[in-house]
Structure 1
Amino acid sequence: MHGDAARPAQAQAWIRSELYFAVGNEDGTGIIDDAHWRAFLDAQVTPRFPDGLTVLDGYGQWRFRDGDRLVRQRCKVLVVLHEDTAARRVDIDAIRSAWKRATGHESVLWARQPVEVSF
């Protein structure tokens, strides 16, 4: 594949960002339904990354800072491959902030790593 100026056949200095969004606790509380998730994607994510993204359903656990309480919950994992620029980092932070405002959650985990891409 040859690519074009917007999507070169190979690109350098790209990042794979994974964002982890809690959508429900193991005990069935705090459930964020598919319609709420889709509305969030449409309003906050797609406008910032219109060229593509991947969403995976997940399940995970983490321990509160006090070390006494383990939380098990369903999650959505958003994977976005993007240029490693300040503007893209601002977009990611805006998505995280929007989710926290919309849900009252304390955090959205952001894991990132350099990636080689080819279109």
Structure 2
Amino acid sequence: MPRHIRQLFSACIATLTVSVLMSGCAWLPPQACLPPSRIMVSAEMIFGRNIGDRPGISESAFANFVAREITPRFPDGLTVIDGDGQWRDSARNVDVRERAKVVLITFADDAQKHADLVAIAESYKRQFSQQSVLTKVGNVCVSF
């Protein structure tokens, strides 16, 4: 094999090796759980409690929202945690600090449950004049 072909071949192999190494987690197998755990979906929803620049969503109003909107969609259980948060209002170029509620929900993967998360966020935004509800979803290993 001519020398320039060998050099080209070596360069291609080096490039391929670097590409594979830099791809990181893309080459890992799907998440596996150690028994007795199983893969489920974990959702974390963060609900701000200000209305405009003022505190406005009371404990009872939030509890009623959970009872009416979240519990019927996720009757197997959830956790509500009090929080203090902040976010950047880019329109006004200011940091906004507010009380928050964090709702943790774990469920078997199901398209309807994912749609329920969206419906909950949309209902909260409409009912309490909110710009957004942060929703984070991912797979986790769970055992009960």
Relative to the length of structure 1, the TM-score reads 0.83
Please point out which of 69, 76, 80 is paired with 2:94: 69
More strand by share: 1
More helix by share: 2
Aligned residues: 108
Please point out which of 35, 44, 49 is paired with 1:18: 44
Q: Percent identity?
A: 37
Unpaired segments of 5 or more residues in structure 2?
1-35
Unpaired segments of 5 or more residues in structure 1?
1-8
Q: CA deviation at 1:24?
A: 3.1
Q: CA deviation at 1:10?
A: 3.7
- Structure of greater relative contact order (alpha carbons < 8 Å, 6+ residues apart): 1
Corresponding residue of 2:103: 78
Q: How many angstroms apart in 2 are the aligned matches of 1:51 and 1:92?
A: 15
Q: In terms of Rg, which structure is larger?
A: 2
Q: Secondary structure at the match of 1:50?
A: coil
Q: How many angstroms apart in 2 are the aligned matches of 1:57 and 1:41?
A: 14
Q: Which runs of 4+ in 1 moved over 2 A?
A: 9-12
Relative to the length of structure 2, the TM-score reads 0.69
User: What are the residue-to-residue correspondences of 1:28-43 with 2, within 5 Å?
Assistant: 29-43=54-68
What is the letter of the counterpart of residue 89 of structure 2? F
